[in-house]
Amino acid sequence: MGLHLCPFTSNASFYIALLLLLIFSSLLSFGNASLDRRFSALRGDLAFADGGDSPFFFSLLLATLAAALVLLFSNANIFIFFILFEVSLPPIMALISFFGKRSQKFRALSYLLYFTLLSAVPLLGATFWLYRLSGSVLQPEIAFLVGEESLLSPIQELFFFAALLLPFGVKLAFFPLHSGLPEAHVEASTEGSMLLSGVLLKLGFFGIFFFLMPICGNIFWLTAPFVLATALVGAALTAASSYRQPDLKKVIAYSSVVHMNLALCGYFVFSPVALQGALFLNLSHGIISAGLFSAVGLLQERNSSRSLLELSGLGLSMPS
C-alpha cells in the first residue's frame, strides 16, 4: 500500500499552484508583520513575551502543511488520502493556537476539532468499505470497478454519498456545516486566515472531485436537487448574516461561506461549463480572500481594531 502519484487528476496542478502561491504570500505577510512588530518594540510600544513571532516555528508549520497537501493533491491511494486529509488540520490549529491574537481562540479550536472528529469517522468507514468491496486502494481502479461492475447497490451508493459529503462539506463550509469557520477566522492570525480560507476550504472540493464524483456518480441525479437547494438557501442566509457583523474578519469569513456554497452548485448541475466555472471560482476566491485577510491584518496592525464602527471614515486619514 505505497504511495502512487495521481496523473489522472487534471486539476491537481491547479490546487498545488494555488497552495504554493498562498504559502509564499503567507511567508511574506508574516515577515513584514514581524519587522513592523520588532520596529515597534524597539520604540517601546509593544512587548512580545510569548514567542508568538517565531519565524522558525511558523516556517516549520507552513512546510508541514505544504508537504501534506502536495502529497494529497498528487496521490491516488485512498488510505493515504484519508491520512493526509486529516493531517492538514493540525498545522492550521497550531497557527491559531500559537499565533492567534485573542483568548477566545481555544473556542475556535474546539469547533475545528469537533467538526473534524465528527466527519473523520464516516470518511474512514467509507474508505475501509471501498477497500473491502474492490480489493484495491487505488482510486482509478476503484472508480473503474464501481462503474463497470456495479459493485454498489443504489442504497449503498446513497450511504457512500452521505458518508463522503459530510467530511468534504465540513471542509468547504457547506451550509449548515460552516459553524466553526467564522470563529476560526476571527481567532486566527492573518496568515492562518489566509491559509484557512485560501487552501483548506478547497480540500472539500478536491475530495468531491477525487472521491465523491467517481464513486457516487450514479446517485448524483437523485441528490442534486437537495444539495443545490441547501447550498443556495445557505448562501442567501449567510449573505444576510454578514450585514450584521461589525468585525471585518467575520464579514470576509461569511462571504467565503457564500462563495463556497455557490461554487458547490457548479459540481451538481452536470455541465462542463459549470464545473469549469466552479474551478475558476475556487482559484479566484483563494487569491481574493487571502488578499482581503491580509489587508484586514494590516489595518489591525496599524489601528489595533477590526471593527467597522471604529474604522469608519478611515479613508480620510490614510495613508498614515
Question: What are 24-62's pLDDT values in tens digits?
Answer: 888 877 766 544 444 344 334 433 334 445 778 888 888
Question: Quick one: what percent of the chain has pLDDT higher than 90?
Answer: 0
Residue 312 vs residue 80, higher pLDDT: 80
289 within some domain = yes
Q: Is the pLDDT of residue 190 over 60?
A: yes
320 within some domain = no
Question: Quick one: what percent of the chain has pLDDT higher than 70?
Answer: 82
> Given this model, what pLDDT does residue 58 score?
82
How many independent structural domains does the chain possess? 1
> Given this model, what pLDDT does residue 317 score?
62
4 within some domain = no
**Average pLDDT of the residues in 291-313:** 79
Enumerate helices (H) and strands (E) in the chain, giving the number of each.
Answer: 15, 0
For residue 134, what are the contacts with CB-CB under 8 A and spacing of at least 6?
A: 141, 142, 145, 146, 151
Range of the domain at 63: 12-310
Please check whether residue 151 is in contact with residue 145, taking contact to mean a CB–CB distance below 8 angstroms.
Answer: yes
Name the H helices within 43-87. 55-73, 78-87
Please check whether residue 77 is in contact with residue 16, taking contact to mean a CB–CB distance below 8 angstroms.
Answer: no
pLDDT tens, position by position, 251-265:
888 888 888 888 888
318 within some domain = no
> Given this model, what pLDDT does residue 10 score?
53
42 within some domain = yes
Q: For residue 125, how far is the Cα from the chain centroid? A: 22
3 within some domain = no
Q: Is the pLDDT of residue 219 over 70?
A: yes
Please check whether residue 18 is in contact with residue 202, taking contact to mean a CB–CB distance below 8 angstroms.
Answer: yes
136 within some domain = yes
Mean pLDDT of the chain: 78
From the number of C-beta atoms within 10 Å of its C-beta (0-12, 13-18, 19+), residue 29 rates as: buried
Helix (H) or strand (E) holding 110: helix 105-134
pTM: 0.80
217 within some domain = yes
